[in-house]
Amino acid sequence: MQIPTELLAKIDEAISHYPVSKRSASLPLLHLFQEQFGYISDESIAWIADKLGLEQINILELVTFYPMFRREPAGKVHIRVCRTLSCALAGADDLKTKLSEATGIHCSKHHEGFSHPPEVSPDGQFSIESVECLASCGSGPVMMINDDFYEAVAPETIQEILSKYK
Amino acid sequence: MSTEATTPKPVELVNVQIDGVWYQFPKGTKVIEACSQAGKFIPRYCYHPRLSTPGNCRMCMVELGMPKMGPDRKPELGPDGKPIHNWIPRPQISCAQEVSEGLGVRTDSKMVQDARKGVLEFLLINHPLDCPICDQAGECRLQEFSYDFGPAKTRFLEHKVKKPKRIQIGPRITLDDERCILCSRCVRFMREVAKDDVIGIVNRGSYSTITCHPNKTLDSNYSLNTVDICPVGALTSTDFRFKMRVWFLKETKSFCTSCATGCNTVIGARENLMYRQTPRENNDVNESWMCDYGRLNFHYLNSPDRLLAPVAKGVNEPDWTAALTATASALKSLPPSEVALIASGKMTNEELFLAAGLTQALGIMLHDIVPHTDAGDDILLSTDRNPNTAGAKLLGLCDANAGSKLPAIADGIRGGTIKGLVILGEDATALGLAESELRKLEVLVTTAMLPNLTTASAGYVLPGSGFAEKRGSMVNKSGRLQRLNRAIQAPGLARDDWEILTGLTEAITGTSLGLATIEDVFKAMSAATPALTGLSLSKIGDLGVQLPIA
Ligand code: SF4
Ligand code: SF4
Ligand code: FES
C-alpha cells in the first residue's frame, strides 16, 4: 500500500503521543486514513494493524464499532442529515428525500439500518447518510455537507446550497 | 537457597460477611470466589479464573456493604460485636471485586434476584431460543441460569436481530452468532492463552457479532478450548456436534496420551463408544486446557478396522491360550541372542514392567522403545509424542537416549543375525525396515490395535487395548505419575495389554506370575522400582503424584 510521505509523517507523529501503548494510536490513525482516502479499505486495516503490531481483527473491531468510519468510498461531497428526534420532528426525513432527488441518489429505506455503506449518486459526486445528533437541536433540520454546517434547512434552498458543490 | 526465601509469607486474612455469616479469606480473593468457597454459587458468564476479568456480562451481581465507620474512624459494631454495614444502594459485580476487611455480601437479596432477572431478560431478547436443536443443551449456562434465576415470561414483541449461523469459523469449530451472549471469553482465551488473537467482536450494540478476521481462521491448535469455555451453544465442536446428547455420556477421568505432557481429561462415552474428551483442571499439568490434536486423537478407537482376534502361525486363533502358547514356543525356538524386543512409549508403566519381565524370561538383551517426535509449542504440546517415555526409562526398557538401539536392531534384522522380533504397539517399518525385510524374520510377534505393515507381516498378532479401554499409569515429561481409567471395553477378543504380556510370559516360563489384577501388577512393579515405593494405583488419585525423578 502506497502511503504519501506527509501522511506517514502525521502517522508517526500521532503514534508518538502514545509511548505506553501503540494500540491507543489506532483511532487517530483511522481518522488520518479516512481523511486521506475517504474511507478505510481492507488494505488500510492491514497496514494499520501491521504498523501498530496488532492483529487485523483489532482494527476491524474499531472500524465497525464507530459509525463515522466508512469501509466503502463515499461521494466527493458527503451529506449527513441528522435524524435524531428534534430534527426528525422538524422534517429531516423530508429533507433527506429532497436531497436525494436533487442529487440523483436512490435512497432505499433498508439502508437506514446498521453499518451499511453510504448511498452514492451514479456520477460519484454526492453521497448521503442519516446520522445521529449534530448538536443543534433548536434549529432543525440540520445537516452537514462535508465540513460545512447548515441549520434550519428549508427544502426550497436545497438547489442553491448544492450548486456550491457541483 | 536461604531458608528465608523458601518460607512463604504468611497470608493475610480478612473478615468478610456473606449472607449474614462471617468468614475469613486471604487478601486478594475475588468476591465471586469467596462466595463459592462459602457455598454460595454466583452465576457468571464472562468471568473465568484463568482469564482477565472484563466484568462485561453483569450476571454476577451481588449487594455489597462497607463497614460503617464511627466518628473515631473505627467500624461501628453491632450487638454481635461485628461491624455494621452501609449497603451500597445498587448491585455490584462480584467478579472484579476483591474482598476487603469487614466487607458484607448479600448473594440472594431481592435486589440481587431482580438484577439477575434483568440481566437474563436482556440476554434473551435477541437469543434465538433454538434450544431443542442446540448442541449445548445439557451444559448451557444460559439455560441453567434462566431456569434458576430468570424471569418466567417475555415482554419482548419486536423482531429479533438476525446474525450469521452455522459459520465454519475454523477447521474444527462451528459458530452460531445468534446464540452468542458476547461474554468475550473466547476472544480473551485466544489472546491471552493461545496467543493467536484472531477473533473479535465487530459492530456494536445488539448487532455485535463474534467473528474471525476475514483473512484468517480460528485454526490454532488450542481452538477447541473456546468451545469448552463458551457458556452457550455459540461455539461448538464440529467433530462432536450432533453426535450425542451430553446427558447420555458416561464420564470417566483420564488423561491425554498423545504427547508427554499428559493433559488431564474427562472422556465422554456411551454404549462402548467414545464420543469426546475434554480437558480437566490440573494446576500442575494443563491448567484447564488441552490441545486440539490430542483432544481429537481418539477416533481410531472406534475404527471398524480394529483387530478383533489373535493370530498365531499366520492364521486366526480365537483361543487366546492356544495363541499365547504358540507364540511362546515360537519365541523359545530361537536363541535369546537372536531375538530383540521393541516396546512403545505409549505403553503404560504396568505394561512396560511386564515387557521388561518378558525380556528377562526370554533372556533378550537387545530392547528399546521407538521415539516419536514432532513440533511442540511453549503452551502444552510436547515435542515428545510418546506419553510415557519417562516410564520406559524408569522401568529400564530403554536407556537415557531412547531409540539409540534401534539402528542395531534394524541392522540385525537386515543382516540376518536377528531372527525373532517382539514389537509391542509399534510399526517396525518406522525403523526404516521394508516389509520384505520384516518377512525375513523367522518369528515376528506384535501387539496392535489396528492393522499396519507389521501386523501384515507378523505370524503372531495379539490384539490389544487403547488408552480409554484400560487402566494403568504413565509418567509425563515432568515426572508426574498419572492414571488411566477404563471408559469403554476393547472390541471383540482384544485384551488388556497387561493380560497379554502376563499370559505370554507365563506361557514361556511355565510358572504363574501371581498377577490377578492390574493392582497386583502395580504392587509388583512398585516393589521392584524405588521411585514408585509406597504407591498404588488408587494412591495416584485423579490429579497424579509427582515422582522423585528429574
Ligand atoms: S462465542 Fe461464546 S465465548 Fe465467545 S463471546 Fe460468544 S458466548 Fe462468549
Ligand atoms: S498437549 Fe499433549 S497431552 Fe495435552 S492434549 Fe495436546 S497432545 Fe494431549
Ligand atoms: S461474571 Fe462478573 S460481570 Fe461477568
For chain B, how big is the Rg over CA atoms in Å?
A: 29
The minimal CB distance from B213 to the residues A56, A65, A114 is found for A56
Domain assignment of residue A35, yes or no? yes
The chain A residues in contact with chain B (CB within 8 A) are 42, 46, 54-58, 60-61, 64-65, 67, 114-115
Q: Choosing among B184, B213, B220, which should be mutated to test the A contact, i.e. which has the most A CBs within 10 A?
A: B213
Q: Which of B31, B41, B51, B59 for a ligand 3 pocket mutation test, highest count of atoms within 8 Å of Cβ? A: B59
Q: Does domain B11-121 have CATH number 3.10.20.740?
A: yes
Q: In angstroms, how far is CA B100 from the centroid of its own chain?
A: 36
In angstroms, the separation between the Cα of residue A46 and the nearest Cα of chain B is: 10
8 Å CB contact of A115 and B199: no
* pLDDT value, residue A11: 97
Q: How far is the CA of B464 from the centre of ligand 3 (A)?
A: 48
Note whether A16 and A57 are same-domain residues.
Answer: yes
Please provide the average confidence, as pLDDT, over all residues in chain A: 92
Residues A91 and A121 in one domain: yes
How many whole angstroms from B188 Cα to the centroid of ligand 2?
21
| Ligand having the closest approach to the CA of B42 | 3
**pLDDT of A35-68, one tens digit each?**
999 999 999 999 999 999 999 999 999 999 998 8
Interval B389-416: pLDDT, tens: 999 999 999 999 999 999 999 999 999 9
Please indicate whether residue B62, judged by its CB atom, sits closer than 6 Å to ligand 3: no
Task: Let me know if residue A36 belongs to a domain.
Answer: yes
Residues A107 and A156 grouped into a single domain: yes
pLDDT of residue B431: 87
Instruction: Please tell me the total count of domains within chain A.
Output: 2
**Confidence band of A111 (pLDDT split at 50, 70, 90):** very low
Question: Looking at the predicted structure, is the pLDDT value of residue A108 above 80?
Answer: no
Instruction: Output the CA torsion B170→B172→B177→B183 (10° steps).
Output: -100
CA distance B430 to B445: 16
CATH code of domain B131-140+158-302: 3.30.70.20
**Contact yes or no for A55 and B212 at CB 8 A:** no
CB–CB of B203 and A65 under 8 A?
A: yes
A54 interaction partners in chain B (CB closer than 8 Å): 197
> What is the Å distance from ligand 2's center to B424 Cα?
22
How far is residue B428's CA from residue B443's CA, in Å, rounded to a whole number?
13
Residue nearest to atom 6 of ligand 1 (CA): B180
What is the ipTM score, two decimals?
A: 0.85
Read off the pLDDT of residues B353-378 as tens digits, 9 standing for 90 and up. Answer: 999 999 999 999 999 999 999 999 99
pLDDT digits (tens, 9 = 90+) for B123-167: 999 999 999 999 999 999 999 999 999 998 888 888 999 999 999
Could you give the 3-state DSSP secondary structure of residue B92?
Answer: strand
Cα distances (angstroms) measured from residue B324 to each of A31, B268, B461: 78, 34, 10
CA-derived radius of gyration, chain A: 18
Give yes or no: residues A58 and A106 share one domain.
no
Of the bound ligands, which one is closest to the alpha carbon of residue B123? 1
Nearest CB partner across the interface for B203, out of A55, A57, A115: A115
Cβ-defined contact of A57 to B199 (cutoff 8 Å)? yes
Question: Which pLDDT does position B250 carry in this prediction?
Answer: 97
Torsion angle (degrees, nearest 10) of CA B408, B412, B413, B419: -130
B231 CA → ligand 1 middle, Å: 7
- Supply the pLDDT for residue B1: 41
Quick check: B6 pLDDT over 80? no
Mean pLDDT over A58-81 rounds to: 92
Interface contact A61-B197, CB threshold 8 A: no
Say yes or no: CB of residue B209 within 6 Å of ligand 1. no
B interface with A, Cβ–Cβ < 8 A, is 197-205, 207, 211-216
Residue B471, CA distances (Å) to B155, B194, B281, B467, B483 in order: 54, 32, 20, 8, 7
Give CA–CA dist B185/B192, Å, rounded.
10
B57 lines ligand 3 (CB under 6 A): yes
Nearest residue (by CA) to ligand 2, atom 7, is: B294
Same domain, A128 and A103: yes
Q: Is residue A33 part of a domain?
A: yes
Together in a domain, A140 and A111: yes
Among B323, B328, B335, B336, residue whose Cα is nearest residue B363: B336
Chain A residues in contact with B198 by the CB 8 A cut-off are: 55, 57
Q: Which fold has domain B311-546?
A: Rossmann fold (3.40.50)
Over residues B248-303, the pLDDT tens digits come to: 999 999 999 999 999 999 999 999 999 999 999 999 999 999 999 999 999 999 99
pLDDT in the model for residue A115: 62
For residue A60, the chain B residue with the least C-alpha distance is: B202
Does the Cβ of B234 fall within 6 Å of ligand 1?
A: yes
pLDDT value of residue B5: 52
Quick one: which H or E segment has residue B474? strand B472-475
Q: Is residue A19 part of a domain?
A: yes
Q: Which of A21, A42, A65 is the last residue of a domain?
A: A65
Between CA B91 and CA B59 the distance in angstroms is 11
Contact A57 B200 (CB under 8 A): yes
Least confident of A14-23, A105-114, B110-119, B470-479: A105-114
**SS3 label, residue B294:** helix
A139-156 b/e (C-beta count within 10 Å ≥ 16 → b): ebbbbebeeeebeebeee
Give the closest ligand to the alpha carbon of residue B46: 3
* A33 lies in the same domain as A100: no
Q: What is the pLDDT of residues B436-447, one digit of tens each?
A: 999 999 999 999
d(CA A27, CA A63): 9
pLDDT, averaged across chain B: 95
**Do A39 and A90 have their domain in common?**
no
Question: How close, in Å, is residue B127 to chain A by CA atoms?
Answer: 18
Question: What span, in angstroms and rounded, lies between the C-alpha atoms of B391 and B525?
Answer: 11
Under an 8 A CB cutoff, do A114 and B215 touch? no
Is A72 a domain residue?
no
- Whose C-alpha lies nearest to ligand 1, atom 3? B230
Q: So what's the pLDDT on residue B153?
A: 86
From-to residues of CATH 3.30.70.20 in chain B:
131-140+158-302
For ligand 1, mutation pick of B181, B193, B206 (most atoms within 8 Å of CB) = B181
Same domain, A158 and A83: yes
CB contact under 8 A, A64 and B216: no
- pTM: predicted TM-score of the whole model, two decimal places: 0.92
Residue of A nearest to B197 (CA): A55
Residues of A in contact with B213 (CB under 8 A): 55-57, 60
Asked if the structure places residue A70 within a domain, the reply is no
Q: Give distance in angstroms: CA of B245 to centre of ligand 3.
A: 28
Q: Which of A57, A60, A62, A110 to mutate to test the interface with B (most CBs of B within 10 A)?
A: A57
pLDDT at B152: 83
CATH number at residue A115: 3.40.30.10
- CA A86 to chain B, closest CA, distance in angstroms equals 23
Give how far A161 is from chain B: nearest CA, Å.
Answer: 34
How high is the pLDDT of residue B154? 85
Give a yes or no: residue A71 inside a domain: no
Residue for grid cell 448511498? A119
- CATH 3.40.50.740 in chain B: give the residue spans: 311-546
Which residues belong to CATH 3.10.20.740 in chain B? 11-121
Predicted local confidence at residue A107, as pLDDT: 75
Confidence of residue B3 (pLDDT cuts 50, 70, 90): very low
The ligand 3 atom at the shortest distance from the C-alpha of residue B56 is: 3
pLDDT at B118 over 70: yes
Q: Are residues A55 and A85 in the same domain?
A: no
Contacts of B207 in chain A (CB under 8 A): 114-115
| Contact assignment for A60 to B215 by CB distance below 8 Å | no
Whether A113 and A146 map to the same domain: the answer is yes
Q: The domain containing residue A97 runs over which residues?
A: 77-163
Do B207 and B81 form a contact (C-beta atoms < 8 A)?
no
A47 lies in the same domain as A86: no
CB–CB contact B204 A64 (8 Å): yes
Q: Which residue of A has its CA nearest to B195?
A: A55
Nearest-by-Cβ selection for A61 from B202, B205, B214: B202
Predicted local confidence at residue A55, as pLDDT: 95
* Beta-bridge mates of residue B200: B211
Contact B212 A57 (CB under 8 A): yes
Is the confidence at residue B345, as pLDDT, over 70? yes
